[in-house]
Amino acid sequence: MGERILAELEAARFLAQAGATLAQVGDYHSTLERIASLAVPTFADWFGVHVREPEGAIRRLAVKHRDPAMEALVVEIYRRYPPSEGTLYGAPHVMATGEAMWLPDFEKAIPAIARDEEHAALFRKLGIKSFICVPMRSQGNVVGALTFATAESGRVYDDIHFAAATDLAARAAIAIENAQLLDAMRHDDRRKDEFLAVLAHELRNPLAPMRNAIEIIKKRDAIDPSTQWAASVLERQVRQLSRLVDDLLEMSRFSTGRIELRRERIQLHDVVNHAVESSRPAIERGRHELHLELPHDPIELDADGLRLAQVLSNLLNNAAKYTEPGGQVRLKASLDGDEVTIRVSDNGDGIPDGLQEKIFDMFVQGERQGERTAGGLGIGLTLVRRLVELHGGTVQAFSDGPGKGSDFVVRLPALHRQPARAQSAGGK
């Protein structure tokens, strides 16, 4: 009874460790190799993984033994006696039939599964005492097999070990499914990124001639009011389209790793002035009151000034977009130890509770109150987060709920100010 309890504890410990490893979704080849490292020597002296390739071929993915020379012997057996149709043992047989194999005494089975005496001799050289091979199933199909064997330890597999091996195979099959889904998602993401990059470049090409045509119309000496109105509408729409295309280009640069910061010693006041200048049209269009609160003493940053201005401009534009006409928009900056804190707040639509954690995700937009439409692509705040993180900072969104305004807080590392030199007694 004591040995059975120990076997149950051993199996439970192994399944817990293996389950934690399989829960880490990633490349399933490396995941199963990590499982092999866990299996040997805690659960088996030998461990093997076989998978079925998309074209149907069976591939040995991993063989694990404490002695690399013994692993080479398995490779030699496969080379001299490759699996063939009708193989009576191991992973090829299990994957062909879908039925698990459990051989408590492997030595007794050798005469039945060996092809000739030399094959039997190689089996005996492996020193296998007890053997389990279980199929991995995915959506009703056998996608692979896990092989466990004892040798030097002399352990004999019983029903407890067989149940643990079967359980692990089921978990491994789920891990393979998840890894394949993740690979498919990554492939789709790459295709999406490529599409966005091409789309942005193609959309940008006609913008320059459109802007030139508008300028030509506006410079004509005699222009009737209706043409002037049409030119103004076109100018505003081209400006909006240019901003959307620039956002698409930025996202494509992030996706392809082509964003580079041009860091230098800059003044926060200059960054704020640049951002306010860029956001002025949106604020004036909404007839908002803009309040700026900046420290009297200069705050210096080691940063890309244009990128940080883009961050603050996006936050100011966002505040203007989600605030009713005549609302309040505020930008406040302060130095807190080694950090500069920049808070952009408004008394607008606010953020629903379920959206605050997702507001920086791509294509996420809040609902605007009244008859106003959201507009934009929903990537402005995604750009904010990524640019802030590139600078080693953080950004968070806060709101008490719909209709109660919102606060976006950016924290960035600040440069230490050098203390002023003390003047000498002689006044020099």
Domain boundaries, the chain: 2-183, 206-255, 264-413
Residue 369 confidence (pLDDT) above 60: no
Does the pLDDT of residue 22 top 60, yes or no? yes
pLDDT above 70 (res 326): yes
Contact 135, 90 (CB under 8 A): no
Please name every residue paired with 297 in a beta bridge, in sequence order, or none if there are none: none
Q: Is residue 370 predicted with pLDDT exceeding 60?
A: no
- Average the pLDDT over 109-123 and give the result: 90
Q: pLDDT tens, 51-99?
A: 887 777 788 877 888 787 788 888 888 888 887 666 777 888 899 889 9
The helix/strand/coil state of 23 is coil
Q: Which residues contact 157 (CB under 8 A, 6 or more apart)?
A: 102, 104, 130, 131, 132, 148, 150
Q: Place 378 in a pLDDT band, splitting at 50, 70 and 90.
A: low
More confident position, 426 or 337: 337
| pLDDT tens digits, 213-222 | 888 887 776 6
- Residue 90 dihedral angles phi and psi, to the nearest 5°: 70, -170
pLDDT score recorded for residue 417: 58
The pLDDT confidence band at residue 373, using thresholds 50, 70 and 90, is very low
Q: Answer yes or no: is pLDDT of 179 > 60.
A: yes
Whether the predicted pLDDT of 167 surpasses 50: yes
- Rounded to the nearest 10°, the torsion over CA 341, 344, 346, 350 is -90
Residue burial 331-354, b: 16+ Cβ < 10 Å; e: rest = bbbebeeeebbbbbbbbbbbbeee
CATH 3.30.450.40 at 2-183, yes or no: yes
CATH of 264-413 among 1.10.3720.10, 3.30.70.1280, 3.30.565.10, 3.40.1280.10:
3.30.565.10
**Average pLDDT of the residues in 365-393:** 70
Percentage above 90 pLDDT, the chain: 27
Q: Cis bond leading into 41, ω under 30°?
A: yes
The CA-atom distances, in angstroms, between 256 and each of 48, 193, 202, 335, 365 are: 38, 8, 18, 34, 24
pLDDT top residue among 386 and 192: 386
pLDDT (0 to 100) of residue 285: 87
Per-residue pLDDT tens digits for 140-154: 889 889 999 999 888
Residue 421 is predicted with a pLDDT of 40
Average pLDDT taken over every residue of the chain:
81
Q: Are 310 and 387 in contact (CB under 8 A)?
A: yes
pLDDT at 420: 42
Label residue 2 by pLDDT band (50, 70, 90): low
Q: Given this model, what pLDDT does residue 398 score?
A: 92
Position with higher pLDDT, 209 vs 47: 47
**Contact predicate 133/91, CB 8 Å:** yes
